[in-house]
Amino acid sequence: MSTIKIGALVDGRYRIEARIGHGGMAEVYEATDIINKRKVAIKMIREDVMRNPINLRRFKNEATIASSLNHPNIVKVYNHGTIEGRPYIANEFVRGQTMKDMLDFRGNIPLAEAVSYMLQLTSALFYAHQHNIIHRDVKPQNIYVMPDGTIKLGDFGIAVAEGVDDDLTKTSEIVGSVHYLAPEISQGKPASIQSDIYAAGVTFYELLTGHVPFDKDTPINVAVAHIKDKFPMVKKYLPACPKEIEKIVASATKKRLQERYKGADEFYDDLLEISKNPLLLKEKKSWLSRVFGFK
């Protein structure tokens, strides 16, 4: 069975209504849970993908890890099971776009809005970390933005329980997305809470500037830049960026773990402090713009 027919009933409770997307790993369907009378998204692993046992285990890993988490800024997993030999996950139905889609359309995001998104993301990460879960793939592609401004972190496919040996990846295999990869991961060290914080810091930088910090010609060169190159200033693209925001991005993306935020709560607290002072979120104007009205 390659696709599910519209109108089919999955596991005796999910009525398939539409195919709404497909990615490298899975097909996604809109469905109605006829027991709880709510919309859900049914994510089903693709047949060709599940032939690789690692992919199958990653999919099941996402189901078990994400279903243990319950936070307003994390995509909720309601249920998971198997239908005709293929695992599926019944997720909260998210009415929104990915943060990546939003950035592609809008470019950079205004300061106050970016801070609001990051407060929600760091809250979600702190909750996951409190439950000993390291996401390992924090990036705009895995964050959904609702029409009301709520964000939800999804895709826990390569998440891992902190302190547990990760048999989903070999020691030689780097997992995650290279543009958001903490330097220590590229150096072959295990992921930690602080790796997620680094990826969140890169995400904040991208929200503010519309650019990733290191955009080289090959993934290896990007990874090397994260290890060796000075992290660029937000002011490179946003000259009016307040120094308080610049400082937060810097604290989240320090190369040395000793200098980086120790926990997502520290990141959150600094963002919260700024959000309480609207004057700090006003972009500073140059004397040219003040005198002549230039941007």
d(CA 280, CA 287): 18
Cα distances (angstroms) measured from residue 220 to each of 77, 177, 196, 199, 215: 34, 12, 20, 17, 11
| Nearest-angstrom CA–CA distance, 126 and 124 | 6
Cα 106 vs. chain centroid, distance in angstroms? 18
SS3 16: strand
**CA-based Rg of the chain, rounded to a whole angstrom?**
20
Q: Measured between alpha carbons, how far is residue 245 from residues 15, 250, 289 in Å?
A: 46, 9, 21
Query: Catalytic pick from 33, 137, 155, 196?
Result: 137
| Catalytic residue list contains 137 | yes
Q: Which sequence positions are flagged as catalytic? A: 137
